[in-house]
């Protein structure tokens, strides 16, 4: 009789543990929220000082003629699925979860400016504490999230003397290992 009543009392507790999403096991976010990103060994800003940093994953960017800048692209990997919403600090699951994978996956990129292929000036491998990224849930809802750590592979193209006035079309083509090819168009408006 004692064993049966103990089992009956334990069943709701076991059901709660089984049905509770994994996300609730995440550590509470650090305070104050949100934490600042910390790059190791350096950030891209430190690698290319005095240059404007331009991410080329689509959209319009505005520059002044002769303004030094850097185009950058690359990929990142999150070693855990733990993440938090930037706006609320609420625990979420990073999508897609890259837990238990390595950063050996890579992507073959091609970049053209007005149809002419350009090669990267350099590339760096960085880690970041409290990395900000766009988290897109399976339902299609997207928001900025913060992961405790990330590994980032960044390629960059330097323009130390900038460009002359005009409109430039930057095309980025990517073929990730294990993923679908993608394409992004970024328009550089220089002095116009």
The reported pLDDT for the residue numbered 47 is 83
Q: Is the pLDDT of residue 183 over 70?
A: yes
The reported pLDDT for the residue numbered 10 is 43
Indicate the pLDDT class of residue 17, thresholds 50, 70 and 90. very low
The reported pLDDT for the residue numbered 15 is 42
The reported pLDDT for the residue numbered 79 is 84
Average pLDDT over residues 184-191: 97
The reported pLDDT for the residue numbered 90 is 94
The reported pLDDT for the residue numbered 30 is 78
Tens digits of residue pLDDT in 114-162: 999 999 999 988 899 999 998 988 898 999 999 999 988 889 999 999 9
Q: Of the spans 11-20, 57-66, 169-178, which averages the highest pLDDT?
A: 57-66
Mean pLDDT of the chain: 82
Question: Domain residue spans in the chain?
Answer: 25-190
Residue 7 to residue 187: CA distance in whole angstroms: 65
- The secondary structure of the chain as a DSSP string is -HHHHHHHHHHHHHHHHHHS-GGGGSPPPPSSSSPPPEEES--HHHHSTTSEEEE-SSEEEEE-TT--EEEEEEEEE-SSSEEEETTT--EEE-SS--TT--TT--EEEEEEETTEEE--SEEEEEEEEEEEEEEE-TTS-EEEEEEEEEEEEEEEEEETT---SEEEEEEEEEEETTS--EEEEEEEEE--
Average pLDDT over residues 78-103: 79
Indicate the pLDDT class of residue 184, thresholds 50, 70 and 90. very high
Average pLDDT over residues 87-99: 80
Residue 3 to residue 1: CA distance in whole angstroms: 5
Torsion of Cα atoms, 91 then 94 then 97 then 99, to 10°: -60
Tens digits of residue pLDDT in 55-83: 998 999 999 999 999 999 988 888 888 89
Give the HSE-up count for residue 125: Cα atoms under 13 Å, Cβ half-sphere. 5
């Amino acid at each position: 009789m004692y064993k049966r009543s103990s089992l009956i009392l334990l069943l709701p507790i076991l059901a709660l543990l089984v049905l509770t999403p994994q996300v609730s096991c995440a550590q509470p976010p650090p305070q104050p929220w949100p934490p600042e990103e910390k790059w190791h060994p350096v950030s891209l800003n430190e690698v290319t000082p005095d240059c404007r940093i331009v991410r080329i994953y689509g959209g319009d960017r505005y520059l002044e003629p002769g303004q030094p800048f850097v185009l950058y692209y690359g990929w990142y990997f999150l070693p855990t699925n733990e993440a938090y919403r930037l706006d609320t600090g609420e625990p979420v699951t990073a999508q897609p979860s890259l837990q238990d994978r390595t950063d050996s996956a890579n992507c073959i990129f091609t970049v053209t400016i007005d149809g002419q292929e350009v090669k990267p000036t350099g590339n760096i491998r960085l880690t970041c504490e409290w990395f900000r990224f766009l988290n897109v849930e399976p339902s299609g809802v997207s928001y900025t999230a913060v992961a405790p750590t990330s590994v980032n592979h960044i390629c960059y193209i330097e323009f130390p003397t900038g460009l002359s006035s005009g409109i430039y079309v930057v095309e980025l083509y990517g073929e990730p290992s294990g993923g679908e090819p993608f394409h992004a168009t970024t328009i550089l408006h220089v002095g116009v």
